[in-house]
């Protein structure tokens, strides 16, 4: 499927039209940003790694019965997906305390959470993606009660599946962000699942292998993204 004109360019990806109004191409860039766009940079070949990592994870989820926007990997940087009407709510799942949770609640980084914690954030660059609750979502019409039920149940299901997916590859899934969208009367998982939007720690060493390396200038950013790629695509893990 050939890509046509650009519909949207975001911080990490570009969305292109195709000849089929139901399908769009998701192009993965090497651009990296953090702290609501305040920090910008490039992670060499991030787009290639994130495209392949996301494709693999979407295929895994489809095999486990989770409906996603993924149709097929087109090439190193492009994925064909179903066009969604994106719900402006980021669904964050946490298994280990890190990032904003540690700051907001004073919980020590690395604390294993007794239960997965699900949080909602309003997807708004000008507002810096503030944390919101179900009452805000319903009041301001960002999603219906029925849609929220799907976000919660699918979010928790995806978390359980991905914990095991990563564990089998010696990776601890600390936390991650999901985006969902409306499609033909239903709600599907969209966007990407990659080290840009997940915290992934090596199971044995605890080394960080995700965007925190870029956020906090930890060095070896490309090497650690590559490490995630390798752990996912080792011949035995394919
Ligand atoms: P941002 O918009 O936050 O800068 P990206 O650079 O990742 O993020 O841009 C990709 C955009 O495409 C995001 O806004 C995301 O919500 C949107 N998107 C993801 N999947 C789909 C889809 N299947 N259909 C339409 N839009 C999508
Ligand atoms: N996250 C994301 N995009 C966002 C906000 C968060 O991908 O706009 C991911 C982030 O990479 C982490 C998880 O969601 O894996 C939880 O992020 P957190 O709330 O801790 O925010 P942070 O401190 O990373 O900004």
Q: Using a 6 Å cutoff on CB, does residue 14 contact ligand 1?
A: no
Q: Which tens digits make up the pLDDT trace of 31-45?
A: 999 999 999 999 999
Q: Return the pLDDT at 122.
A: 98
Nearest ligand by distance to the CA of 178? 2
Residues 6+ apart with CB under 8 A from 153: none
Distance 103 CA to ligand 2 centre (A): 13
Q: What is the pLDDT of residue 1?
A: 78
Q: Is 83 touching ligand 1 by the criterion CB < 6 Å? A: yes
Q: Would you say the CB of residue 15 lies under 6 angstroms from ligand 1?
A: yes
* Residue nearest to ligand 2 atom 19, measured at CA: 100
Q: Which domains does the chain have, with CATH numbers?
A: 3-82 (3.30.200.20), 85-221 (3.30.470.20)
Residues in the chain with pLDDT < 70? 238
pTM above 0.75, yes or no: yes
Ligand showing the shortest atom-to-Cα distance for residue 22 = 1
Written as six digits, the tokens of 61 are: 């989820």
* 3-state SS class at 19: coil
């Amino acid at each position: 499927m050939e890509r046509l004109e650009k519909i949207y360019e975001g911080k990490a990806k570009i969305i292109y039209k195709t000849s089929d109004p139901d399908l769009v191409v998701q192009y993965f860039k090497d651009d990296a940003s953090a702290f609501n766009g305040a920090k910008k940079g490039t992670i060499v070949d991030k787009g290639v790694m994130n495209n392949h990592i996301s494709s693999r994870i979407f295929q895994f989820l489809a095999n486990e019965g989770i409906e996603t926007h993924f149709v097929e990997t087109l090439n190193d940087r492009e994925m064909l997906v179903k066009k969604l009407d994106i719900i402006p709510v980021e669904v964050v799942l946490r298994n280990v305390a890190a990032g904003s949770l540690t700051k907001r609640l004073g919980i020590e980084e690395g604390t294993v959470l007794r239960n997965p914690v699900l949080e909602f954030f309003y997807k708004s660059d000008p507002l810096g993606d503030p944390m919101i609750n179900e009452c805000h979502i319903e009041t301001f019409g960002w999603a219906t009660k029925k849609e929220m039920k799907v976000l919660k149940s699918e979010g928790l299901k995806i978390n359980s599946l991905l914990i095991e997916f990563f564990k089998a590859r010696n990776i601890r899934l600390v936390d991650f962000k999901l985006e969902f969208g409306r499609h033909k009367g239903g709600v599907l998982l969209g966007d990407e699942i990659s080290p840009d939007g997940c915290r992934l720690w090596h199971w044995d060493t605890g080394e960080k292998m995700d965007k925190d390396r870029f956020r906090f200038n930890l060095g070896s950013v490309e090497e650690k993204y590559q490490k995630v790629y390798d752990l996912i695509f080792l011949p035995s893990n394919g």
